[in-house]
Amino acid sequence: MLRILHDTKYDFVKHWKSAVIGTIAFIALGMVLLGVHAERHNGEALNYSIEFTGGTAIQLKFPQPAPPDVVRSAVDQTGFRGAEVTAFGDPLNFLIKVQTSESGGPAATNADSLGQDIARILRERLPSNPATVVRAEGVGTSVGSELKTKAITAILISFIVTLIYLAIRFEWRFGVAATIATMHDILTTLAFLAMMRLEISLTVVAAILTVIGYSLNDTIIIFDRVRENLKKQRKESLREVLNRSINETLPRSVLTHATVFAATMALLLFAGEVIRPFSWLMAFGVFTGTFSSIYVAGPILLWIEHKWPRSTGTESKGTSRALAEERKRERPTPVGTR
Amino acid sequence: MPLKWRVLTIVALCLVSVWALFPRDVTTRVRGADGVLHDQKSRRVPLKPGLDLRGGTYLALEVDDSKQTIPASQKAEAIDRALKTVRSRIDGFGVSESVVQKQGDSRIVVQIPGIQDPERARALVQEQAFLQFKITDKTQALERSLPKIDQVIKQRGLVAKVSGDTAGKAATTASKGLQGLLTTTDTSKKSDSSKVASAGKAAKDSAAAADSLKVQPGGAFSSLLQQGGGTPGEFYVAVDQIPTLDSYLDDSVVKAALPPGKDFLPGTDSVSLQGKWYRSYYSVDSKPIITGDALKDARPAQNTMDGTVVEFELDNEGARKFRNETGKHVGDFMAIILDDRVMGRPPVIQSAIGAHGQITMGGKSLADAQDLALVLRAGALPVPLRVAEVHSIGPSLGQDSIDKGLRATLIAVSLVVIIMLVYYRFSGMLAVGGLVLYVLYTLAALAGFDAVLTLPGIAGFVLSIGMAVDANVLIFERIREELDRGKTVRTSIDEGFRHAMPAIVDSNVSTILTAAVLYQYGTGPVKGFAVTLMAGIAASLVTSIFVVRTFYLLWLNRSRGAQTLSI
């Protein structure tokens, strides 16, 4: 039997103070960076994709590496002012992007013909290296603001739905701790977005929600074990129970995070530029999710317990709702095809 | 459940999955090289790739109320009628598996897969196909209004928007003698000889008149315009200055300064003069002599005189009116205006025209004529539509995404398999067996729900493979704990599955909830992501809890009284 981190007795809870300081520093750095970005980009702290701001994005592909200044001047010649021209992944691909809010021009929903114009000029200038339009996207401002509302609604609703689920499934102490851990994940993710200056598209919003779900999943696994250990007749403090639960679930955490991390690495390295921001966020999510389950949800649970202690004997007698519920069910709920 | 039933259930699930994924005949309508639609049958796996994977064009259209106000009550009805028109146009276009549907109350979404020419698709859909015939302005009303317009622009401070450099350049070109320009026009437009034959002659006639009205350099508006090739009311505007011109024309005060009873419209033709590209603009009477409402039929044709044309036929009443009106205007030039754009160069009216007429397409291809005939037949859109959103993905990028997505999937699967085998040995092997079924079930579920596979969807699938083994890991770790407590193999397996269950259910439900919200609020690619995630979780629950358990039971049955378990 190959075992890693089996039967460990690490005192995870002991380090909570430095962990909290670390994460607050990380978040603070991210927020400062957001401020800096906002200063630099006309008040837009986050790098929204054209899906949210409205605008035009055109991806050109060359058979051979092309000089960026030629692309730039071709873009200028079409009167496509204020466009941002960047290499996209490799020197063969270029992304030309302009946000409607910045240019103030008409909604650039003629992205396709605009792309063809630019490509035509480039083919005239670089006849031996003919450019083709591989992607042209244009989003009107009305659609953009609508999508923004939709994305925010999606994040809020998924938050509320998970809260309701936690409230049903766990005792309030656990629910509150898990919620705060989730908020922490949103903050660190924002900080990460600021640090990497990743473009926020709908796909990235989906990634954020998945990270939240994944992190919550991790918290639930640990809390499930805490709940189970509390049920057992032991003279242990909650702190000891928490530590023991984290240690007991450690092999599972390591293995699951390893497999998910392997999958995200495969995405990050091999799935290409289009999906890259998504891959980055997922890779980061594995870390923040693991961290928040141990060092945010745990300490907060202890703090709540300290502030509003259970009535004596609760731990063993199980008068709390979750424990009573656990008692009732001798067998687990049937799932799926049973 | 007895073991026999377990095995049967798994086999049945596999059979259903294989059936769901079995390649089947798909009938698609394709337009052949001859322009005729015919059905084509092909066999393929019923997994639908999204536009981001196969390449194609996505358009979201909404009512364009920038030019006229349309009350909200009429908008909803207009969208419904527009939907029908757009659908019949797209059907006539003959691209297989196109989608035309309403999104919300105010949008029409058009998805055309695999199209090589997004501009054409867009033109086809967006073309309001509001056909009008108007007489070009021969009174030089616009020329006379130019000083006033220039002044208005100056007063409004609009001129500051244009860089002095480009304006200056335009002025120099404009002041170069007109005669020189005209000769260049004639030679460079050989390909456009499809214009009505007398256009050239008329050009020379009016050239003298136009010469005296040479556009004076200096004015912000007038410096953009150059006298056209002789048709009254025709002007040329350098292509790179069209945005500037548009910005002037957008201004309401400037609009008011334009001559009353006339419209100033862009043409479809561009000409090259001295290495520079110009677009034709026309000043025409506002009142049409006839509109497309009177149209009965339209079809593309090619003839030696005019090249590619669209021949049309008017209904009786329309024909009578048309004959009357054209009879009154013999010798004038008639602009054929489709959606506020002048098609080709206006021909001269030589005699009264009746029920039959034709629109010359200039140097354009037969395909363009087909499209125009199609939109004219399908009828005009009840309201102008504007594109609110366009996504056009080239087939090469789509293929690239598929290749990269597949590569990432294969690598992720291999990594997960290696981790499981190295760490859990025999039990890991059972988990990998479960993983194989997991992939099968997930793909089958996607095919069964008619889900669209997108790039984020593939990413979701890759991710769910990593997450799918989580349930196995939870169970295996539990079994190990039970074994550590000295329980027998059989009891440990039973207890392991039983105790891991609440955690598995809790954690997966939270992910499913997230995915459901994403499905509800996401669009296109994100929806694809949500669907694969949900299908993945459901399949992972089935395989890890049910299938792997059955594998264990089978193994226990074969090696009765096994004392050790490789886990």
DSSP one-letter code for B258: S
Q: What is the domain count for chain B?
A: 3
Q: Does A77 touch chain B (CB under 8 A)?
A: yes
Separation of alpha carbons A120 and A137, rounded Å? 18
CB B384 within 8 A of CB B127: no
Per-residue pLDDT of A118-141, as tens digits, reads 888 888 888 888 888 888 888 887
Nearest residue of A to residue B549, measured between CA atoms: A338
Contact yes or no for B510 and A251 at CB 8 A:
no
pLDDT at A18: 92
Q: Does domain A13-36+144-327 have CATH number 3.40.50.300?
A: no
Do B214 and B302 reside in the same domain of the chain?
A: yes
**A158 has pLDDT over 90:** no
Contact yes or no for A110 and B520 at CB 8 A:
no
Window A:35-64, CB contacts with B under 8 Å: 59, 61
Half-sphere exposure of B273 (CA within 13 A, CB side): 29
Do B527 and B442 reside in the same domain of the chain?
A: yes
Q: Does B400 touch chain A (CB under 8 A)?
A: yes
Nearest residue of A to residue B481, measured between CA atoms: A248
CB B382 within 8 A of CB B78: yes
Do B437 and B531 reside in the same domain of the chain?
A: yes
| DSSP for B519-554, written as a single string | HHH--HHHHHHHHHHHHHHHHHHIIIIIIHHHHHHH
pLDDT at A21: 93
Q: Does B63 touch chain A (CB under 8 A)?
A: no
Q: Which residues of A touch B118 (CB under 8 A)?
A: 112, 136
CB B234 within 8 A of CB B399: no
A&B contacts, CB < 8 Å: 268
Residues 6+ positions from B148 with CB-CB distance below 8 Å: B257
Question: Does residue B35 belong to any structural domain of this protein?
Answer: no
Among B387, B416, B472, the strongest candidate for a mutation testing the A interface, having the largest count of A CBs within 10 A, is B387
User: pTM of this prediction?
Assistant: 0.72
Among B507, B534, B542, B546, the strongest candidate for a mutation testing the A interface, having the largest count of A CBs within 10 A, is B507
Q: Which residues of A touch B243 (CB under 8 A)?
A: 79, 105
Separation of alpha carbons A57 and B397, rounded Å? 14
Q: Which residues of B touch A136 (CB under 8 A)?
A: 118, 390-392
Question: Does residue B232 belong to any structural domain of this protein?
Answer: yes
Q: Does A73 touch chain B (CB under 8 A)?
A: no
Among A8, A53, A256, the strongest candidate for a mutation testing the B interface, having the largest count of B CBs within 10 A, is A256
Contact yes or no for A136 and B420 at CB 8 A:
no
Question: Does residue B567 belong to any structural domain of this protein?
Answer: no
Window A:228-287, CB contacts with B under 8 Å: 228, 248-249, 251-252, 255-256, 258-267, 269-272, 274-275, 278-279, 282
- Reported confidence tier of residue A185, pLDDT bands at 50, 70, 90: very high
Question: Does residue B48 belong to any structural domain of this protein?
Answer: no
Contact yes or no for B419 and A255 at CB 8 A:
yes
Among A159, A210, A227, A282, the strongest candidate for a mutation testing the B interface, having the largest count of B CBs within 10 A, is A210
Do B113 and B86 reside in the same domain of the chain?
A: yes
Do B250 and B356 reside in the same domain of the chain?
A: yes
Higher-pLDDT residue of A111, A106: A111
- For B279, phi then psi, to 5°, come to -105, 140
CB B334 within 8 A of CB B290: no
Most confidently predicted of A22-26, A95-99, A255-259, B209-213: A22-26
Nearest residue of B to residue A77, measured between CA atoms: B240
pLDDT at B442: 92
Residue B104: left (phi > 0), alpha (psi -120 to 50), or beta? left
Give the dihedral of Cα atoms B448, B454, B459, B464; nearest 10 deg. -10
Question: Does residue B38 belong to any structural domain of this protein?
Answer: no
Separation of alpha carbons B12 and B513, rounded Å? 28
3-state percent helix, strand, coil for chain B, nearest multiple of 5: 55, 20, 25
pLDDT at B273: 78
Min Cα–Cα distance to chain B from A321, Å: 16
Min Cα–Cα distance to chain B from A257, Å: 8
Do B353 and B388 reside in the same domain of the chain?
A: no
Nearest to A206 among B473, B529, B545 (CB): B529
Q: Does A141 touch chain B (CB under 8 A)?
A: no
User: Which of B342, B371, B392 delimits the end of a domain?
Assistant: B392
Residues 6+ positions from B420 with CB-CB distance below 8 Å: A259, B428, B431, B432, B435, B469, B472
Among A62, A204, A260, A286, the strongest candidate for a mutation testing the B interface, having the largest count of B CBs within 10 A, is A260
Sheet of B295-303: strand order equals B295-303, B307-314, B356-360
Give the 3-state secondary structure of chain A.
CCCCCCCCCCCCHHHHHHHHHHHHHHHHHHHHHHHHHHHHCCCCCCCECHHHHCEEEEEEECCCCCCHHHHHHHHHHCCCCCCEEEEECEEEEEEEEEEHHHHCCCCCCCHHHHHHHHHHHHHHHCCCCCCEEEEEEEECHHHHHHHHHHHHHHHHHHHHHHHHHHHHHCCHHHHHHHHHHHHHHHHHHHHHHHHHCCCECHHHHHHHHHHHHHHHHHHHHHHHHHHHHHHCCCCCCHHHHHHHHHHHHHHHHHHHHHHHHHHHHHHHHHCCCCCHHHHHHHHHHHHHHHHHHHHHHHHHHHHHHHHCCCCCCHHHHCCCHHHHHHHHCCCCCCCCCC
Contact yes or no for B396 and A147 at CB 8 A:
no
**A192 has pLDDT over 90:** yes
**Domain limits for position B515:** 3-22+394-558
Q: Does A145 touch chain B (CB under 8 A)?
A: no
CATH of the domain at B447: 1.20.1640.10
- What residue ranges of chain B have pLDDT lower than 50? 160-216
Which class is A55-139 in CATH? alpha beta
Contact yes or no for B408 and A77 at CB 8 A:
no
Question: Does residue B235 belong to any structural domain of this protein?
Answer: yes
Question: Does residue B42 belong to any structural domain of this protein?
Answer: no
Separation of alpha carbons B153 and B137, rounded Å? 23
Q: Which residues of B touch A109 (CB under 8 A)?
A: 386-390
Separation of alpha carbons A303 and B486, rounded Å? 37
Window B:433-492, CB contacts with A under 8 Å: 455-456, 458-460, 462-463, 465-467, 469-470, 473-474, 477, 480-481
Contact yes or no for A137 and B394 at CB 8 A:
no
Do B388 and B398 reside in the same domain of the chain?
A: no
Contact yes or no for B462 and A271 at CB 8 A:
yes
Nearest to A336 among B401, B517, B541 (CB): B541
Question: Does residue B401 belong to any structural domain of this protein?
Answer: yes
Do B435 and B547 reside in the same domain of the chain?
A: yes
Q: Which amino acid is at B239?
A: V
Do B110 and B211 reside in the same domain of the chain?
A: no
pLDDT at A265: 93
Nearest residue of A to residue B525, measured between CA atoms: A203
Contact yes or no for B9 and A337 at CB 8 A:
yes
Q: Which residues of B touch A253 (CB under 8 A)?
A: none
Min Cα–Cα distance to chain A from B327, Å: 40
Min Cα–Cα distance to chain A from B104, Å: 12
CATH of the domain at B116: 3.30.70.3400
Do B75 and B89 reside in the same domain of the chain?
A: yes
Question: β-strand B276-285 against B262-273: which pairing, if any?
Answer: antiparallel
Do B350 and B462 reside in the same domain of the chain?
A: no
pLDDT at B392: 87
Q: Where are the domains of chain A?
A: 13-36+144-327, 55-139
Q: Does B385 touch chain A (CB under 8 A)?
A: no
Do B387 and B433 reside in the same domain of the chain?
A: no
